[in-house]
Each structure stands twice: as structure tokens, then as C-alpha cells.
Amino acid sequence: MTDLGAPERGAVTGAGVRPRPRAALPALCVTRITGWGVVHYAFPVLNPQITTATGRPTGATTAAFSAETWPS
């Protein structure tokens, strides 16, 4: 059989030491926090313009925004 450099004591399982991408998780966290911040802080600023443009009451647009963000 051909020797592929596997250790003689057993099969290769891929559980060896591998470098971990240390910057990926913090980058994803910052992206998620920034995204939520933009969405949740922009709505109160833009709500008066939304109600003026659509003719809907403020309570209706706030309820629609809350209903949209609730599942996530």
C-alpha cells in the first residue's frame, strides 16, 4: 500500500492541530452589531419622513417595524 504520510497508529481523522482564523469571529460580531445599530437607530430618525410620505399614522409604522424585526 502507498504511504501517504499518515501516522502508523491509526487513520487520519482531521483532528490535528490547525490554525484558527482569529479575526473572523470579532469581525462578524462587529458587523452584526453595526447592522443592528443602523437599523434600530435609523428608524426613529426616519419615521417622521416615512409617515409623511405614506400618510400612515406613527403608531402603524412603528408597529410594522416592530412586527418585521420580531422574528429575527
The domain segmentation of the chain, as residue ranges, is: 24-69
**Cβ atoms 54, 61 nearer than 8 A:** yes
Number of H helices, E strands in the chain: 2, 0
Kindly report the pTM of this predicted structure: 0.54
How far, in Å, CA of 69 to CA of 72, rounded?
6
Model confidence over 4-40: pLDDT tens digits?
665 555 555 666 666 667 888 899 999 999 998 888 8
Q: Which helix (H) or strand (E) holds 1?
A: none
* CB-side neighbour CA atoms (13 Å) of 49: 5
Pick the more confident residue, 63 or 69. 63
Q: What is the pLDDT of residue 55?
A: 96
**pLDDT confidence of 68, banded at 50, 70, 90?**
confident
Torsion-angle region of 19 (φ positive above 0: left; ψ -120 to 50: alpha; else: beta): beta
